[in-house]
Amino acid sequence: MTDAPVPQQLLPRHVAIIMDGNGRWAKKRGMPRAFGHRKGVEALEPIIEACGQWGIEALTLFAFSTENWARPKDEVNALMGLINEFFNRKIDELNRKGVCIRMLGDLSGVPEPQRRVAEAAMARTGNNTGLKLNIALNYGSQQEILRAAQRLARKCASGEMAPEDIDDEAFSAQLYTAGLPKVDLLIRTSGEQRISNFLLYQIAYAELVFVEENWPDFTREVFARALTTYAQRDRRFGKV
Ligand code: FPP
């Protein structure tokens, strides 16, 4: 079933990816930024496929941040169009492969067409037991943490729970990633070494791997290399 680059026990359960560098990839080729994003969506397919084949439990992708609305209108529209296209074109196949889709982020702030396809994708694949594919859309980690704090504060104020009951489990249950394993490996492409408000709580003990390739050039081979790097790390979780 698998040509996994490392033995199963050394694979991460949960991989998160900041898919950076679409704009630079396009610029290098004298093409508009939107072309880079289109190539970026095309790059997704082999990575999702590899996760399924190699037995990675969860893949979380940063598709659109709460800050990305400040980009030029044309680029925002192009990204929104691509998100719709991705769901419309891919949902049958993803569903057939048992992929379970979850959206992370504030969908109430997403245009209606994208919200509708995203909600339909979640409803349709929600009971699937294969790869957990999480797509962060209108997502910001600080906002997610504040939202969790507010939800817990409300529970405390109503007497449903006591402040002392707020532990990692209770807090994690209020995040968009509730029920998912903590992130083991965070990959960022394009040589940038930043977290950019992505999964701040969930990456507490994640290994960070930064690769030079821009996202459209992130192939199955580059992914395999990142997994090999991860497998060679000595994870100590604060212990010796
Ligand atoms: C960063 O490159 C990339 C983004 C802000 C968008 C990433 C989104 C996709 C690849 C589409 C995802 C769609 C689905 C359905 C998951 P950049 O534009 O910041 O590149 P630059 O740093 O070179 O300018």
For residue 62, the model assigns a pLDDT of: 98
Catalytic residue flag (residue 20)? yes
Which residue in 20, 138, 184, 214 is the catalytic one? 20
In a domain, 44, yes or no: yes
Distance 78 CA to ligand 1 centre (A): 11
Q: How far apart are CA 51 and CA 59, in angstroms?
A: 7
- Residues contacting residue 195 through CB under 8 Å, at least 6 positions apart: 18, 186, 203
Is 75 in contact with 33 (CB distance < 8 Å)?
A: yes
pLDDT by position in tens, the chain (length 240):
568 999 999 999 999 999 999 999 999 999 999 999 999 999 999 999 999 999 999 999 999 999 999 999 999 999 999 999 999 999 999 999 999 999 999 999 999 999 999 999 999 999 999 999 999 999 999 999 999 999 999 999 999 999 999 999 999 999 999 999 999 999 999 999 999 999 999 999 999 999 999 999 999 999 999 999 999 999 889 888
Domain count, the chain: 1
Q: How far apart are CA 126 and CA 144, in angstroms?
A: 21
Ligand 1, atom 24, residue with closest C-alpha: 23
Atom of ligand 1 nearest to the CA of 192: 22
For residue 76, the model assigns a pLDDT of: 98
In a domain, 171, yes or no: no
Ligand 1, atom 3, residue with closest C-alpha: 20
Domain, as residue range, for 205: 8-140+185-231
For residue 53, the model assigns a pLDDT of: 97
In a domain, 158, yes or no: no
Catalytic residue flag (residue 68)? yes
In a domain, 216, yes or no: yes
In a domain, 97, yes or no: yes
For residue 236, the model assigns a pLDDT of: 87
Ligand 1, atom 1, residue with closest C-alpha: 20
The CATH number of residue 133's host domain is 3.40.1180.10
In a domain, 117, yes or no: yes
Pocket test for ligand 1, best of 37, 65, 103, 197 (most atoms within 8 A of CB): 37
Atom of ligand 1 nearest to the CA of 65: 5
Q: Exposed/middle/buried for 230, CB within 10 Å: 0-12, 13-18, 19+?
A: buried
In a domain, 170, yes or no: no
Distance 168 CA to ligand 1 centre (A): 31
In a domain, 43, yes or no: yes
Distance 150 CA to ligand 1 centre (A): 30
Distance 21 CA to ligand 1 centre (A): 7
Residues with CB under 6 A from ligand 1: 19-24, 37, 40-41, 44, 61, 63, 68, 82-83, 86, 135, 215
Give which of 107, 168, 95 is closest to 133, Cα–Cα: 95
Q: Where are the alpha helices (DSSP H) in 18-140?
A: 22-28, 33-54, 73-96, 112-125
Which residue in 3, 22, 68, 95 is the catalytic one? 68
Distance 20 CA to ligand 1 centre (A): 6
For residue 42, the model assigns a pLDDT of: 98
